[in-house]
Structure 1
Amino acid sequence: MIGSLNGVVAAVGEDTALIEVGGVGYVVQGGARTLGRLRAGETARLFIETHVREDAIRLFGFDSEEERAWFAHLQTIPGVGAKVALGILDAMPPAVLIDAVALQDKAAFARANGVGPKLAARLATELAAKQGPKGFIAITGGAARAAAAPASGSRAEAVSALVNLGIDQSSAARAVSAAAKQFDADAP
């Protein structure tokens, strides 16, 4: 299985990029955000999720290992395939996705291409009840366990501090998210 590709971008299309590595060109599918940062002729590194089917091998590329892990994790929810998972990750980077899961924010999921109200509700409910991608976030009872979420940085530390003070994880995650939104609104 291919874990990452590091090579020269030969071409970038609407939903794919051609990455040349050691004289071999790999067609990699990706989201608009990932593909938007790639430029033909420049070197790029993408973390790869490989899908092997009877009739095709498909490579999906991501900016980070965390994003790749969330792509795979999202597809454990019934009704979420590769296209919808890419749409969700285009709408929400992993740090925002972690908040949406912790807060069971159906509206955040509904903003993604290919996600209607029923699927948004299913995503919010089922992801909150599942263990998140291994090594990135653990989800229990609808709240993020911040100590396991390295990508969320200071938010994770704030949630962890509140939990250590005796506040339940769900309330801590909501409070930190609300404070972050307030801070963003007050920023110049």
Structure 2
Amino acid sequence: MIASLRGTIVALATGRLVLEVAGVGYAVAITERHARELRVGDTVRLHTALVVREDDLSLFGFVDEVELGLFELLRTVSGVGPKSALGVLGSMDADAIAHAIANDDDAPFRAVSGIGPKTAKLIVVTLAGKLEAPRTPARGTAAGEDARAETAPRTALVAALTGLGWPERTALEAATAVIDQAEEAPLPELSVLLRRALAQLGPARDARGGSAR
């Protein structure tokens, strides 16, 4: 699996770029918002998801692990494919998504191109309880930044654990415990938190919560 790429942008279009890494060009789909911040010649690192289908291999790139985690969560919703999930992330940031879910508000999702009323409602219903809304809707303030800093690692860690098959309630409890117990400031990278969470969940349990045999 290609988890991340670091290289130079050699081609850039709306929602897509070609990243040259060690002489190999990778076509990567990105959000339109992200594309507007980039220029050909920039050296960037992308967190990536490789989506495999019978007749296609597609790479999707993200600014950070939080966006990647949200992408994977959105894809768990019936009717939301990778392109639709990318569209949501291009229209809404992590805070906006978390607030909409917490407030049972599907209107922001209905405003995303390619997301109909039924799918918008499914997003809200399916992701309820999986995202922790920021403590304040204020943006550009120190309080808002602190809330995002606290929420983002938990969201990414829950997404990683559920992606490995753990039940969402179990994943949320483990993520909360690991983050609360962390003594480092700032928090360690997601890979470190994930190892701690898996160690806490215990090797004797499988991803469905049963006992290993």
In the TM superposition, what is the alpha-carbon distance from 1:124 to its structure 2 partner? 1.3
Q: 2:164 — aligned with what?
A: none
Q: For residues 99 and 3 of structure 2, what CA distance do their matches in structure 1 show?
A: 27
Q: 1:6 — aligned with what?
A: 6
**2:84/2:114 contact within 8 Å kept:** yes
Q: For residues 83 and 148 of structure 2, what CA distance do their matches in structure 1 show?
A: 29
With the length of structure 2 as denominator, give the TM-score of the two structures.
0.61
Report 1:38-77 matches (<5 A).
Answer: 38-77=38-77
- State yes or no: 1:18 paired with 2:18: yes
Which has more strand, going by share of residues?
1
The amino acid of 1:106's aligned partner reads D
SS in structure 2 of the partner of residue 124 of structure 1: helix
Identical residues among aligned pairs (%): 38
Q: For residues 52 and 44 of structure 2, what CA distance do their matches in structure 1 show?
A: 23
With the length of structure 1 as denominator, give the TM-score of the two structures.
0.69
The amino acid of 1:42's aligned partner reads D
Q: 1:83 — aligned with what?
A: 83
SS in structure 1 of the partner of residue 86 of structure 2: helix
Report 1:32-181 matches (<5 A).
Answer: 32-129=32-129, 131-132=130-131, 137=132, 144=133, 153-155=145-147
- Number of residues of Structure 1 aligned to a counterpart in Structure 2: 143
The amino acid of 1:99's aligned partner reads H
The amino acid of 1:113's aligned partner reads S
Q: For residues 98 and 25 of structure 1, what CA distance do their matches in structure 2 show?
A: 34
Alignment CA distance shift 1:41-1:116 (3 Å): same
Q: For residues 39 and 145 of structure 2, what CA distance do their matches in structure 1 show?
A: 29
* Residues 62-113 of structure 1, C-alpha deviations (whole Å, 9 max, x = no match): 1111001101110101010011111111111112111111111111111111
For structure 2, the 5+ residue unaligned runs are 136-143, 152-213
Alignment CA distance shift 1:83-1:157 (3 Å): closer
RMSD over equivalenced CA pairs, Å: 2.3
The amino acid of 1:123's aligned partner reads I
The amino acid of 2:113's aligned partner reads N
